[in-house]
Structure 1
Amino acid sequence: MSNIPPSVPEEYRPGFLPPSIAKQAQDALPGKQVPLNPAPLDDVMADGSKYKAAGKLEGKNAAITGGDSGIGRAVAILYALEGANVLIQYQPAEEEDAQNTKQYIAKVAPKAKVELVAQDLRDEKGALQLVEKIKSWSGGELHVLVNNAATQNEVEHIEDLPSDQWRHVFDVNIHAIFYLTKNLIPIMPWGGSIINNASINPFVGHPKLLDYTATKGAIVGFTRALSNQIVKEKGIRVNAVCPGPIWTPLIPATMTKDSLENFGPSTAIGRAGQPVEVATAFVFLASVDSSYFTAQCFHVNGGSAY
């Protein structure tokens, strides 16, 4: 427990301990937030205080893929607290998590306008349907695009990695980002921000997540190249966040028992991170505070070596 500041109130301390996640395996992807114990922390900081908003995104329109749970949920909550209107895309099977997220935002940020969109992003048709919904919802002006939705599934050996899984992971993790970004840039004004959720894995080469790691490396390359292509002409900044081990539903839904038992303690801080600890980076990159940051990879990983 030495890694937990003594100021953290008792009710939040479990969130900053390595969770007993080996017993929480879930069968369905991308995993559900509701049954996780301890629940991931969305707006409680490491000292136990609640996140303090400062109006950094007042009046902005932000679209977040995979915003119903995990890191995406925390980003949606902090954005709403900062004054943004938020559109949350989610898989149709994640209706309960999506509704819970909307209800929580209504409680903590009642002035925020929240739109839920159940949309599959596994092919271009689905992505373009989401694009049209975002255009309609935003009134033709989108200030922040957060490409967060992703999937993974551990496979130890390349010989056992099904081709269908390889294609599926690429479709969700990188192809959807291309389709959405390409078609939403035209409605993003000067000063807009595109934030892609990458991972620590391209920098360490996770041996059990070959396909996932490859897609996250592609996201890093896409982020840097796109920024160099558009930032001067359009004034839209493009950055990536590269989380380390973060306690989200995707973890117990996709990782082996051995991986679950070793999830987090290997970091310098000595624990898995919480979604709120990543979401603060997304707030910074969406706001004017980061006006001179582009083509960057923000490593939120608890001091993991790579």
Structure 2
Amino acid sequence: MRWSWRWLGGALLVAALAVPFGLGYLAGARTQVQEQVPAPGPQLTAEQATRVRAVALAHPTVQAVLAERSPEGYAISIGPVTGPTGELVGGYVAVDFAEPQTLRGEWLLAVDWRVRWPPTTERHTYTAYNVDLVVVWVDLASGQVVQVEPTGPYTTVAREEDPSELKEPLRSRAIEIALKEPWLAAVLAGSSYRIESVSRIQAPDGTLVGALVWVKTEGPVTLGGEVPIVTRDFEGGWQWPLPTAARASRDLPDRPVTSIVVLVDFDANRAVLYHGE
């Protein structure tokens, strides 16, 4: 199973014990809802809110989810969605469950919503576990649903169904680039390890630019010396392209770890350590 990337916040990922779900999509539903409700900012009119609710609840995936559940088991909220330049472009409907749910469906994921509206979408069928929210986005201009996504702080998806998991041959290429890095080779020397996951990293416009490789060691290892590190700003997105400067060992975890998260840049053919902030 894989933890939802959307909810990792400021965790130090090199010490994490689980793999994030949906990293490649850059942000998750509830995070997006929070980002899309500026105060003050453009708001939906009563007529727009009514239309957004009707369109969202008529979506087949949403209907299938709600048909099996009592209305007392969830709450519905509605709000505005703003575009890349801050204008009102849509509305969201959030179905907030009283208890975590297991949901299987065909989900619609918005890929490049940070830079384009309406966004490019992808359809993926999978089962999501420990779901707190289903968030639906509706484009006001077309009246079409542009996102339906299950999410939550502990939402997981089986790796074989995960839409963010990188496929061959790029998966093998990402692993090769990561393991050839001298700093990582030094850390793993003499240790047994396995590759937990290889997730794709997309630029805000949806372009595949890299991969996130999760390395799990059989025993604790120590990160030391000069190691190139990248951080991620949850407001501004990834620090990309990857930095070339290395940070001193004092910026690394002061304790042994068993999980190492490596970011791979395909264009630069290099990899750096991910350090959550």
TM-score (structure 2 length as normaliser)? 0.26
TM-score (structure 1 length as normaliser)? 0.24
Bigger CA radius of gyration: 2
